[in-house]
Amino acid sequence: MAHKPLLATVLGQRQERPPIWIMRQAGRYLPEYREIRANVRNFLELCYTPDLATEVTLQPLRRFDLDAAILFSDILVIPDALGQSVRFAQGEGPVLEPVDPQIITQLRREGALEHLAPVLETVRRLRAALAPEKTLIGFCGSPWTVATYMIGGRGSTDQAAARLFALRHPEAFAALIDILVATSIDYLVAQFEAGADVVQLFESWALNLDDSAFAERVIEPNRRIVEGVRARVPNAPIIGFPRGAAGNLAKYAALTGVNALGLDYATPLDFAAKHLPDTLPVQGNLDPLRLVAGGKQLDERVDQIVSAFANRPHIFNLGHGIVPETPIEHVAALVDRVKNG
């Protein structure tokens, strides 16, 4: 079996140089992606068309010497599969029909995996197409993050609708989380069975929670997913990315059981050395806007990040997704800097 540097790093093996992939590496900053996107009716059609989703996933690997491909899809395919109305409005992002306690009782897991069959077909095609040394990353949104969209109807800066819902309707909220945990386990197991090497849990809205709410809404559901996946896929490699977790990061890593911890760009570079086990792999954590600006400051920050994590298993990545206005030449320079110094 070919050596996959990124997978090996997730499993705790420090590499001579950090492997690299980029969150949202397949997307709007690439002209070839924009061309495909312009010829489909909507974003979900792109996610559910294996030919196109496979092509989009592979596009950045043709341009850059990245160590992994990440499945092109979206965290909101799960609410879509559960029967909630999900659409992507041009210039607005995702728009969902908000759930209430009554609607939550009408959500059905039956048929969810059948609905997601095109995504799993994309995973199979990617497995067949990728070079043997490239890691294939699957993913899903973590329950709290997905719930914030399902309850609020769209993304928000403070997740107030979901936070209030959890406080006012604790039983309905717990039922929603239970549905999302169980469906996420099924979905991630199916991704592994289709050929994914590792999966990432995107807890994109882990900020704005007090420590008690964080433990209940972030740590515990993610722990249940990790445990549930590994009950069916023993030793399944899992990256957890709780964006904005701040002082809760160490507790998240210890209690969820993830193999590797994604760090957002606000996390100080000395945090891992001070608060995380030396053997815990970390991923991150360049500010995406540094990649937009480029130049000397980019080189200097890349070197600082590589140096800060040099004594532990480290996957180089951004601290959040790449933004559409990122110059392609800056991405090429980043990859070269990480790989060649």
Cα–Cα–Cα angle for 308, 133, 197, rounded to 5 degrees: 80
Closest CA to 190 of 120, 108, 114: 120
Q: Which of 74, 186, 197, 264 is catalytic?
A: 74
CA atoms of 47 and 56, how far apart (whole Å): 10
**Which tens digits make up the pLDDT trace of 110-134?**
999 999 999 999 999 999 999 999 9
Assess whether 243 carries a catalytic annotation: no
pLDDT band at 240 (very low <50, low <70, confident <90, very high): very high
pLDDT at 1 over 70: no
Assess whether 29 carries a catalytic annotation: no
Q: Which of 29, 33, 48, 149 is catalytic?
A: 149
Q: Name the CATH topology of 5-340.
A: TIM Barrel (3.20.20)
Percentage, residues of the chain above pLDDT 70: 100
pLDDT at 2 over 90: no
Assess whether 37 carries a catalytic annotation: yes
Within a 10 A sphere around the Cβ of 253, how many other Cβ atoms?
A: 23
Assess whether 264 carries a catalytic annotation: no
- Asked if 140 and 188 touch (Cβ cutoff 8 Å), the reply is yes
Closest CA to 309 of 280, 339, 340: 280
Q: Which of 14, 17, 28, 232 is catalytic?
A: 28
- Asked if 253 and 286 touch (Cβ cutoff 8 Å), the reply is no
Assess whether 108 carries a catalytic annotation: no
**Phi–psi pair at 157, nearest 5 degrees:** -80, -25
